[in-house]
């Protein structure tokens, strides 16, 4: 049996475009002599559609598109993912099309992802279809995580999914499907979405594994792909490629950034370029995705900015060819402080208030640039800063999209080195100098906490792995540091609540898979 796998990039609610993509793939599969063509979960609607899944008109438009798709499926069978209404509820389904008819729907039974739990309801689960004389078990989404429900002497198992990208998820997914195919003694086909919608990134990486647990086909990651596979045929042996973590995160962010602009009709971006590692990485990514002509940066030095930071930023500007402006903020800062002196009092010491004024001035200038010329302001904060509360509301937290807000500071350096793999884009001095907000004289991040490799290890254990303070201390970390970081994470939830959408690349992004109350005495 020949199965065509169509790994496509869909846009939420773009029914005409999604329909045409699917129909083009059907025609290609027919030309290739496929018996069955398979598309991802919720391919007609795009995902995640959230509350749109509860709108009757949205579901009706999905069904109308499906009818047109079915009409072109002469001489071929198809599995197409879409949300459908069952009674009062919406379920995620695979429509089975045969001889231009919609034969039936296989619906997802298990709703495990928090993104889906509020908007989708459980369906019936695995069902069997007959194609080219073969009995095929079809499962939708996370139902594949219950392999005991997929058995039943099938000739193959097909899973249509919408599995989001997260660090190291691709290799774990391959291991799961290889083991499942071997245990069930049958071929397993996985077809995933690819592309990004707002903050969610789908990596694609669709795959087919033989009954021996060997890969028969591994589709591309982070891009559209198409493959025809002969199940039960003779195949050349292939190896599962090594998944480089930094490269995959880099590719995921590029895909997320590109689709955010393309699908929302944006073309130009702006950001503040400080001479630090975070803004350097975001600028380099933006130029690679959008082109230097569409990226504009502001350099906003203050009396506390070092000369080398300004020069490092200018070196990046020259290397990448971005449009830039230098707007010193020292006079603006003094004007604000002088205006507030009657309120603060003449003898008030310099402190966090004065530091935040500088960050907020920069936020105002960046938003002014964005408003005046229609640029989308990219935020440059990283996950370590968000965890610790090292950011200023309405200052460096300003932006329409956070590019690296789900990337730890130590990983930002890894991405910078990857960007420089073919030559220096980010100046070496930016990679070597001690991180600093430069909001007071001689300020360094290590004035407050240990180096980021240690700090990030503690944060990672707390956030991604859910470890307690005691577990982390018992693993060998300094107790005082652990308690300090824990307290900082807890008391800065209100800042994260007001943060902009963040491209998701971790297993536990803030505000999505880690939702904490602002008002709470737990842990103190």
Query: Is residue 248 a part of any domain in this protein?
Result: no
Q: Is the pLDDT of residue 306 over 80?
A: no
Q: Is the pLDDT of residue 410 over 80?
A: yes
Query: Is residue 470 a part of any domain in this protein?
Result: no
Residues 214 and 299 in one domain: no
Residues 117 and 198 in one domain: yes
Mean pLDDT of the chain: 94
23 — phi, psi (to 5°)?
Answer: -65, -40
Query: Is residue 494 a part of any domain in this protein?
Result: no
Q: Find how far residue 322's CA is from the centre of its chain.
A: 26
For 468-477, the pLDDT digits (tens) are 999 999 999 9
Tell which of 419, 436, 453 closes a domain: 436
Q: Which domain holds residue 273?
A: 256-436
Show the CA angle centred on residue 486, arms to residues 480 and 490, nearest 5°.
Answer: 145
CATH number of the structural domain spanning residue 141: 3.60.110.10
Q: Is the pLDDT of residue 84 over 90?
A: yes
pLDDT at 396 (0 to 100): 93
Tell which of 211, 243, 275 closes a domain: 243
Q: Residues 226-251: what's their mean pLDDT?
A: 90
Residues 420 and 310 in one domain: yes
pLDDT at 524 (0 to 100): 66
CA 497, 503, 505, 507 dihedral sign is positive
For 132-148, the pLDDT digits (tens) are 999 999 999 999 999 88
User: What is the three-state SS of 474-493?
Assistant: HCCCCHHHHHHHHHHHHHCH
Q: Residues 2-25: what's their mean pLDDT?
A: 98
Residues 236 and 275 in one domain: no
| pLDDT bucket at 442, cuts 50 / 70 / 90 | confident
Q: Is the pLDDT of residue 448 over 70?
A: yes
Nearest Cα to Cα of residue 195 among 375, 54, 42: 42
- Is it true that the peptide bond before 41 is cis, omega within 30 degrees of 0? no
The two tokens of residue 126 are 């695995």
Lowest mean pLDDT among 352-366, 386-400, 445-459, 466-480: 445-459
Residues 342 and 406 in one domain: yes
Residues 237 and 300 in one domain: no
Residues 261 and 379 in one domain: yes
Nearest Cα to Cα of residue 94 among 57, 132, 131: 131
pLDDT at 349 (0 to 100): 86
For 41-71, the pLDDT digits (tens) are 999 999 999 999 999 999 999 999 999 999 9
Residues 46 and 135 in one domain: yes
For 482-521, the pLDDT digits (tens) are 999 999 999 999 999 999 999 999 999 998 888 888 888 8
| pLDDT bucket at 238, cuts 50 / 70 / 90 | confident
For 260-304, the pLDDT digits (tens) are 999 999 999 999 999 999 999 999 999 999 999 999 999 999 888
Residues 162 and 28 in one domain: yes
pLDDT at 313 (0 to 100): 94
Q: Is the pLDDT of residue 350 over 70?
A: yes
Query: Is residue 469 a part of any domain in this protein?
Result: no
| pLDDT bucket at 115, cuts 50 / 70 / 90 | confident
Residues 189 and 54 in one domain: yes
Nearest Cα to Cα of residue 390 among 434, 441, 435, 349: 435
228 — phi, psi (to 5°)?
Answer: -110, 130
Query: Is residue 289 a part of any domain in this protein?
Result: yes
pLDDT at 33 (0 to 100): 98
Nearest Cα to Cα of residue 397 among 266, 495, 474, 488: 495
Lowest mean pLDDT among 16-25, 61-70, 151-160: 151-160
Q: How many domains does the chain have?
A: 2
pLDDT at 223 (0 to 100): 98
| pLDDT bucket at 305, cuts 50 / 70 / 90 | confident
Query: Is residue 506 a part of any domain in this protein?
Result: no
| pLDDT bucket at 149, cuts 50 / 70 / 90 | confident
Residues 332 and 380 in one domain: yes
Q: Residues 423-444: what's their mean pLDDT?
A: 83
Lowest mean pLDDT among 124-133, 198-207, 228-237, 495-504: 228-237
Query: Is residue 180 a part of any domain in this protein?
Result: yes
| pLDDT bucket at 40, cuts 50 / 70 / 90 | very high
Q: Find how far residue 165's CA is from the centre of its chain.
A: 6
pLDDT over 90, % of the chain? 86
Residues 115 and 153 in one domain: yes
Per the listing, tokens 């598309």 go with 39
pLDDT at 426 (0 to 100): 97
Query: Is residue 513 a part of any domain in this protein?
Result: no
Nearest Cα to Cα of residue 440 among 338, 297, 333: 333
| pLDDT bucket at 437, cuts 50 / 70 / 90 | low
CATH number of the structural domain spanning residue 375: 3.40.50.620
Tell which of 243, 269, 294 closes a domain: 243
């Amino acid at each position: 049996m020949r199965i065509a796998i169509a790994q496509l990039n869909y846009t939420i609610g773009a029914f005409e475009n999604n329909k045409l993509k699917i129909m083009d793939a059907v025609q290609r599969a027919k030309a290739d002599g496929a018996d069955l063509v398979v598309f991802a979960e919720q391919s007609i609607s795009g995902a995640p559609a959230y509350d749109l899944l509860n709108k009757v008109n949205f579901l009706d438009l999905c069904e109308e598109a499906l009818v047109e798709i079915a009409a072109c499926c002469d001489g071929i069978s198809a599995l197409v993912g879409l949300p459908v209404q069952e009674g009062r509820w919406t379920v995620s389904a695979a429509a089975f099309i045969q001889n231009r008819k919609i034969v039936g729907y296989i619906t997802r039974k298990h709703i495990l992802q928090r993104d889906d739990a509020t908007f989708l309801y459980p369906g019936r689960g695995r069902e069997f279809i007959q194609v080219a004389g073969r009995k095929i078990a079809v499962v939708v989404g996370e139902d594949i995580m219950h392999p005991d429900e997929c058995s039943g002497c099938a000739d193959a198992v097909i899973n249509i999914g919408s599995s989001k990208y997260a660090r190291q998820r691709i290799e774990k997914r391959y291991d799961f499907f290889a083991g499942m195919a071997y245990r069930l003694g049958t071929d397993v086909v996985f077809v995933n979405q690819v592309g990004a919608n707002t903050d969610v990134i789908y990596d694609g990486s669709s795959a087919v594994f033989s009954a021996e647990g060997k890969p028969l086909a591994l589709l591309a990651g982070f891009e559209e792909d198409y493959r025809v596979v002969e199940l039960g045929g003779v195949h050349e042996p292939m190896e599962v490629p090594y998944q480089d973590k930094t490269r995959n995160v880099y590719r995921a962010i590029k895909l997320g950034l590109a689709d955010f602009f393309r699908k929302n009709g944006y073309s130009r971006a702006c950001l503040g370029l400080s001479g630090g590692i975070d803004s350097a990485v975001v600028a380099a990514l933006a130029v690679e995705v959008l082109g230097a002509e569409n990226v504009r940066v502001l350099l906003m030095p203050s009396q506390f900015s070092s000369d080398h930071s300004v020069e490092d930023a200018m070196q990046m500007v020259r290397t990448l060819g971005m449009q830039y402006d230098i707007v010193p903020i020292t006079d603006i800062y003094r004007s604000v402080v002088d205006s507030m002196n009657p309120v603060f009092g003449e003898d008030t010491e310099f402190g966090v208030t004065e530091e935040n004024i500088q960050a907020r001035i920069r936020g105002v200038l960046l938003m002014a640039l964005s408003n005046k010329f229609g640029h989308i302001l990219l935020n440059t904060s990283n996950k370590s800063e968000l965890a610790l509360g090292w950011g200023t509301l309405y200052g460096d937290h300003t932006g329409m999209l956070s590019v690296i807000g789900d990337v730890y500071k130590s990983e930002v350096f890894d991405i910078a080195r990857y960007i420089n793999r073919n030559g220096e884009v980010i100046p070496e001095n930016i990679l070597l100098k001690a991180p600093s907000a430069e909001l007071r004289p001689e300020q360094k991040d290590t004035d407050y906490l240990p180096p980021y490799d240690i700090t990030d290890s503690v944060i990672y254990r707390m956030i991604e792995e859910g470890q307690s303070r005691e577990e982390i201390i018992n693993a060998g970390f300094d107790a005082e540091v652990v308690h300090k970081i824990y307290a900082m994470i807890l008391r800065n939830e209100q800042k994260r609540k007001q943060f902009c959408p963040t491209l998701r690349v971790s297993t536990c992004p803030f505000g999505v898979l880690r939702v904490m109350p602002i008002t709470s005495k737990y842990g103190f």
